[in-house]
Structure 1
């Protein structure tokens, strides 16, 4: 069930943004929108690095900074078009190796004989 407070946020994917993506995307928000995110963050996760980013941006806006378009190349989880699969190829995989010198689990040891 979706949290109604989460669906009304200025950044719909806010909870999934990495800190670097948040820093660049929050630049497009107004002071009121940043205040809304800051209140949501403090009421929910209250992550110190996130509140520091939001507080710093709010202060910049109060000192006269204007919202900008932000970084269009910022990490955006909603795109989801990242590379899938493993980056390992036969050219990058390690060389095969033999079993350890003490044998393998399917090779039973032989009794040592009579020790007295």
Structure 2
């Protein structure tokens, strides 16, 4: 069942944001909104890097910093490309090869021949 507090967060996709995307997006929030995220984080995942980030931003806002537009190019999970998996296909794969019986591919082994 969905957490009711999650639906009211200032960043609706908060739980899915990587730290780099979160750092850019919290810049647009007010002190009250950052406090709300911090309380949610502490009561749920309580991830140390995230709480440190939110605490630092809250201190900046209380020290006179103003919310900005943030980074519009920040990673946003809700705008994913929809592609998943490897871009490799049989057309782009290298030709299979077997290793030489001895030696390396650039230094071929020599036949043993007579050892007398």
TM-score greater than 0.5 by the shorter chain: yes
Distance 1:97 1:18, change over 3 A: same
For residues 72-92 of structure 1, give each alpha carbon's deviation from its aligned partner in whole angstroms, at most 9, with x where no partner exists.
000001112254453225675
Distance 1:105 1:2, change over 3 A: farther
Distance 1:72 1:115, change over 3 A: closer
TM-score (norm 2): 0.78
The alpha carbon displacement at 1:24 in A equals 0.1
TM-score (norm 1): 0.78
Distance 1:91 1:114, change over 3 A: closer
Distance 1:63 1:106, change over 3 A: closer
Mind listing any 5+ residue stretches in structure 2 that lack a counterpart? none
Give the length in aligned residue pairs: 116
Tell whether the 8 Å contact from 2:102 to 2:108 is kept in structure 1 after alignment: no
The alpha carbon displacement at 1:2 in A equals 1.3
For residues 34-84 of structure 1, give each alpha carbon's deviation from its aligned partner in whole angstroms, at most 9, with x where no partner exists.
000000000000000000100000000000000000000000011122544
SS of 1:78's equivalent in the other structure is helix
The alpha carbon displacement at 1:97 in A equals 1.9
Q: Distance in 2 between matches of 1:62 and 1:106?
A: 64
SS of 2:75's equivalent in the other structure is coil
